[in-house]
Amino acid sequence: MAIARALAREQFTHQERAPGLDERSKAKRFEQLFVAHLDSAYDLARWLTRDERNAEDVVQEACLRAFKFLDGFHGDNARVWLLAIVRNTYYTWLRKNQFQALNVPLDEEGADGVPLEFDGGNPVDELLQQKDARRLINGALEQLPAEFREVIVLRELEDLSYKEIAAVADIPLGTVMSRLARARKLLLQHLQQVRQEV
């Protein structure tokens, strides 16, 4: 009995001590799957936090989580998985830091009677003629509420499909479409306003 106990104890410490092929192959797998998509992760975090330092913090935290749950990843789209973790990490971080409540209308289909579509001329073409078009357009996206900002980033910068956006943002496909439509309408409204002020 004593020997068995000693054996069990030794076996335990053996596993504790050994650096293990497991650990190294896990690091390698992590590298291949996720570090390769670091630019995507940072881009989303940077647009969500609107700040460089906070974006780095969110990405680091997200990568630690991804590493922790690496064994649970069996899918084939590591980028989508990592982006979903970045997004969750951002909202956790937001709550923890007690930032202002997210100001998103519950009904995305336009219960206020306002159609989802923008209907006032074509502000974009004229804006593009201006020297600071880049600043104005970046500014337009920055001022959108996070829920709308993220779908635009995922669609236009990360080039994800509706299905992939649905997976990252954890919303149904129909919501992806209406949220994108609404986000675009808000962007057009904002740009229209900017144009009139110029």
Give the binding site for other proteins (CB under 8 A). 10-11, 14, 17-19, 21, 23, 27, 30-33, 35-43, 46-47, 52, 55-56, 59-60, 63-64, 67, 76-80, 115-119, 122, 124-125, 127-128, 133-134, 137-138, 141, 152, 155-157, 159, 161-162, 177, 180-181, 184, 187-188, 191
- Min dist. Cβ of residue 22 to other proteins (A): 10
Name 51's Cβ contacts closer than 8 Å, sequence gap at least 6: none
- Min dist. Cβ of residue 104 to other proteins (A): 18
> Residues 175-181: contacts with CB within 8 Å, 24+ apart?
175/108, 176/151, 178/108, 178/109, 178/116, 179/108, 179/147, 179/148, 179/151, 180/151, 180/152, 180/155, 181/116, 181/117
Is the CB of 101 or the CB of 172 nearer to other proteins? 172
Is the CB of 16 or the CB of 98 nearer to other proteins? 16
- Min dist. Cβ of residue 69 to other proteins (A): 12
Structural contact between residues 33 and 67, judged by C-beta atoms closer than 8 angstroms: no
Could you give the angle at the alpha carbon of 162 between the alpha carbons of 87 and 72, nearest 5°? 50
- Min dist. Cβ of residue 72 to other proteins (A): 15
Is the CB of 71 or the CB of 76 nearer to other proteins? 76
Name 127's Cβ contacts closer than 8 Å, sequence gap at least 6: 133, 136, 137, 191, 194, 195
Is the CB of 94 or the CB of 166 nearer to other proteins? 166
- Min dist. Cβ of residue 101 to other proteins (A): 26
Is the CB of 94 or the CB of 191 nearer to other proteins? 191
- Min dist. Cβ of residue 9 to other proteins (A): 11
Local structure of residue 182 (DSSP, 8 states) = H
Name 128's Cβ contacts closer than 8 Å, sequence gap at least 6: none
Is the CB of 82 or the CB of 94 nearer to other proteins? 82
